[in-house]
Amino acid sequence: MTASTPIHRVPDDPVTRQALALAGVFQSASLVDELARTGQVDQRAWDTLIHATLDTDPESFEAIYGGHPNNLRRGLEVLDAVVGRKQANPVVLRYGFSLLLLMNKLRGNTAMLDELGNQLSRIQGQAGHFGNTHENVIASLGEAYQETVSTFKTRIVVQGDPSLLQSRMMPERVRACLLAGIRFALLWHQQGGRRWKLVFQRGALKKALDQLS
């Protein structure tokens, strides 16, 4: 993600914004699954998630995900399967909906929200020195997730290759991805997103997704 990335303005429509934010949640879920199974991730999708997590005061809605919906293409495809009642990876869906549940718990815990904000402010300084995706930054993001969201009784149990999940930097990368999912889940809620709307506004979401494709 660079400052020269052209901004693709999305319609100033709450459903379109909700769709993009929710795509970020499912992109996080998809990358967690990919990391756990293969140890690899799509670089553009990964960069987008980390950028969004670190940019806590974006200049515009579009700036959060780097200015173009294609940066959220992985998540948009998962969401399109959800609203279109097509087959989607059940593990990815479980991670995604669990992130929405955890986001609601976080919203109800002001002290934890403040602590997470403080930690992200510190990590932004690290990112300014090392770069967004440097392993020191990823390790700090993973630690921030572990010390906050991961302390809830409701937790996300990641399935995958045990040897991969225990390899160097893998736990930190997975947790950083989950933290990005929380970031987008909060954004989705801020844009008016609610769980019930996924059922009762399925048609409007599908229309928004078709316009973004």
Q: What would the two tokens of residue 200 be?
A: 């009762």
Full-model pTM: 0.95
CB-based contacts of 131, cutoff 8 Å, min separation 6? 137
In a domain, 199, yes or no: yes
DSSP annotation string for 146-193: HHTGGGSSS-----S-HHHHTSTTHHHHHHHHHHHHHHHHHHHHHTT-
| % the chain with pLDDT above 90 | 88
In a domain, 6, yes or no: no
Number of domains in the chain: 1
CB-CB contact of 184 with 50 (8 Å)? no
In a domain, 96, yes or no: yes
In a domain, 102, yes or no: yes
Is the model more confident about 43 or about 4? 43
In a domain, 83, yes or no: yes
Tell me, what CATH number does 90's domain have? 1.10.3890.10
In a domain, 146, yes or no: yes
In a domain, 91, yes or no: yes
DSSP annotation string for 40-104: ---HHHHHHHHHHHH-SS-SSHHHHTTS-GGGGHHHHHHHHHHHTT----HHHHHHHHHHHHHHH
Q: What is the pLDDT of residue 199?
A: 85
In a domain, 2, yes or no: no
| % the chain with pLDDT above 70 | 96
| Residue 178: alpha-carbon gap to chain centroid | 7
Residue 3: is its pLDDT beyond 70? Answer: no
Domain span at residue 90?
Answer: 14-212
Residue-wise pLDDT tens digits, 176-203: 999 999 999 999 999 999 999 888 999 9
What region does 8 belong to: left with phi over 0, alpha with psi -120 to 50, or beta?
A: beta
